[in-house]
Amino acid sequence: MKRALFSQVTQPGPKFRLIKALRDMNKSDKVIFIMNELERLYPKTLVPLDHTDAYTLLIAVLLSAQCTDKRVNTVTPALFKLASTPENMMMQDVKQIREIIKPCGLSPRKSAAIHRLSEILVEKHSGKVPESFEDLEELPGVGHKTASVVMAQAFGVAAFPVDTHIQRLMYRWGLSTGKNVVVTEKDAKRLFPREKWNKLHLQIIFYGREYCPARGWDMRKDLITQKVGRREFTSLL
């Protein structure tokens, strides 16, 4: 009787089995599980920023710095009605651009960047958005992440733009140290197949928004982190 009772008490429960499975799962296993789950949840990945071409995408991504995609999409219709090409945008008054984009934040800096980069596109690139990381990153207001989004979504070049969602999830999933975006991007490119990058980075963003946010995170709804997350998070289950 005592032996049977002891056996029942010490029998591993679901939490113990989950932690053991986590310990046994290497990074390759994690990557396969993550990709399969994301593909199941998000088989189609539409670019969340409304745009009609490479130029309007470039402007929309620039505006999205420290601003939500949803808010950017409420602002760009008026902006692109004012001007939707570099030639037309450079003819506009910076103050007018600033007034339109004010809800996106950082409007003085962003409006100046939009105006000047439009001039540069006309002066140096025949009014076209260049298909080059180097040329894009030379434009005012365009950093590596913005250039990566444009290269991936406008031109189909393999890239892995790292935003706050990807930075957070790569750390929570134990795939990167989360030290900085440079390290996270390097780790993502090393772990995930190159041909998956352009779709996968959007899938991770969508998952982060829906199931693994920075605030109000409910682990009970976050299946991926339950299965592959760092022990500091899975121990909360």
**Active-site residue list:** 145, 163
- How many CB atoms within 10 Å of residue 206? 17
Do residues 234 and 226 lie in contact, with contact meaning Cβ atoms separated by under 8 Å? yes
Using DSSP's 3-state secondary structure scheme, residue 224 falls into helix
Q: Tokens 């290269």 — which residue?
A: 151
Do residues 63 and 56 lie in contact, with contact meaning Cβ atoms separated by under 8 Å? no
- How many CB atoms within 10 Å of residue 126? 9
- Write down the H helix ranges in 42-106: 54-63, 69-82, 86-89, 94-101
Dihedral (CA of 220, 223, 225, 227) sign: positive
Read off φ and ψ for residue 27, nearest 5 degrees.
-65, -35
Do residues 82 and 115 lie in contact, with contact meaning Cβ atoms separated by under 8 Å? no
